[in-house]
Structure 1
Amino acid sequence: MEPSLEIERKFLVTTLPDLAAASRSSLRQGYLTVPEDSVEVRLRQTDGTFILCVKSGEGIVRGEREIEISEAQFQLLWPQTEGRRVEKTRWTGGLDQGLTFELDIFGGALAPLMMVEVEFRSEAEAHQFVAPDWFGRDVSTDRRFGNKSLALSGASFIRELSGG
C-alpha cells in the first residue's frame, strides 16, 4: 500500500494575524530516527492525542503515515527522543479557498520562531497558492526549517537566524 501524501508549503511568520477565530493546541514531538536516516519516525502529543508518524521524501510532497497510539505507548517511547524534540503552540484557522493554516509558535530553545503551514489537495494547488500578507518567506524546501532539523539544531539555529 502506498503511503498517504502530504502536500504542504511552509512559511516564516514575523507578524501574528488575528487569531480570535482560530483554535489552539499544545504540541510536543520527538524524533526516534537519527539525522542520517532517510525516513523520519516521530512521536507527537497534541493535547491528549498521541501519534506515531512515519514520513519519507522531501520538499512539498512527502509520504506520510500516522498511527494513533496509547499514552502508555507514547510514554514508553518518549525517552528515546531525548535531544531530538520540539515544543510548540499550534493555532489552526481558515484561509480562502477552503484551506486551513497551522501556525506554530515554538517554545523552549526554538523561541521566538514562528512558522505557518498550509496543506493542499494537489501539487498544482500548492504552486498556485498566493500567501496572505502575514506570511513571510517561503521555507518549504529549506531543510533547516523541517521540524526534525529544528529538533536537532535548536538554539544554535535560532541564534544564526537572528544574526547572533
Structure 2
Amino acid sequence: MNTKSSDFLEIERKFLVEELPVLADAIRVSISQGYLTETEDSVELRLRRADDARILTLKSGWGMTRKERNVALEPAQFDLLWPETEGRRLQKDRWIGPLPGGLRFELDIYHGALAPLRVVEVEFASEQEARRFVPPAWFGAEVTDDARYGNRVLVTAGLPEGE
C-alpha cells in the first residue's frame, strides 16, 4: 500500500461554545479518553473509548494542522493499556452534526473536573478550506492555536484560568 504522509494530516479549527445549538440533527457519542504520554512529550499517544470503539491515536504537532494516526484496538488490548493513563483521563459527550457546505461539527461537552467546558471542532480537507470557513453564530472564541485547550493539557493542567 502506497501512502503519503499527507494522508495522515488532521486539519481542524477549534472554538469555545457559550450557548449550545439545537442538537436535533446531531448524534451523541460518549467518550472516555486517557493519555499515555505526558504534556511535555513531543508526541501525543492517546487511548479513546467512544461507545463500543477502542482506538489508539498518535498525534504530533499542534495548531490547525497536525499529523494523526489511528489504530483500532481489541477490548483486551485497550484494557491492558488503560491503567497506564491513570491521572491523565477525561470524560466527555461528543455531539456530531451537519454544517453548511457538507462540513460537520464535533461539539465536546466535558464532564467532571473539566465541566462546564464546551468546545467545537470542524475538520477540513485543506488549509485553504479551513481559512475560508466562517463559523456559525453559536461558535465562540477561536482557540485553535491556544495549547491550553488541547485535551492532553486539559487533563494535566485543568481548565484555563477564567473558564
Q: Which residue of 1 aligns with 2:28?
A: 24
Q: Tell me what 1:104 maps to.
A: 108
1:52 and 2:56 aligned: yes
Aligned to 2:129, the other structure's residue is in SS state helix
Which 5+ residue runs of structure 1 have no aligned equivalent? none
Instruction: Within 5 Å, give how 1:56-71 maps onto structure 2.
Output: 56-71=60-75
User: Counterparts of 1:87 and 1:153 in 2: how far apart (Å)?
Assistant: 15
Post-superposition Cα deviations, 1:130-156, rounded to whole Å, max 9, x if no partner, equal: 0000000000000000011111122xx
Q: Describe how 1:1-164 pairs up with structure 2 within 5 A.
A: 2=5, 4-154=8-158, 157=159, 160-162=161-163
What percent identity do the matched residue pairs reach? Answer: 58
Alpha-carbon distance in 2 for matches of 1:58, 1:139: 12
The TM-score normalised by the length of structure 1 is: 0.94
Work out the number of aligned pairs and report it: 159
Scaled by the length of structure 2, the TM-score of the pair is 0.95
Which sections of structure 2, spanning at least 5 residues, go unmatched? none
Q: How far apart in 2 are the matches of 1:143 and 1:70?
A: 31
List structure 1 segments (4+ residues) > 2 angstroms apart after TM superposition. none
| Aligned-partner SS, 1:161 | coil
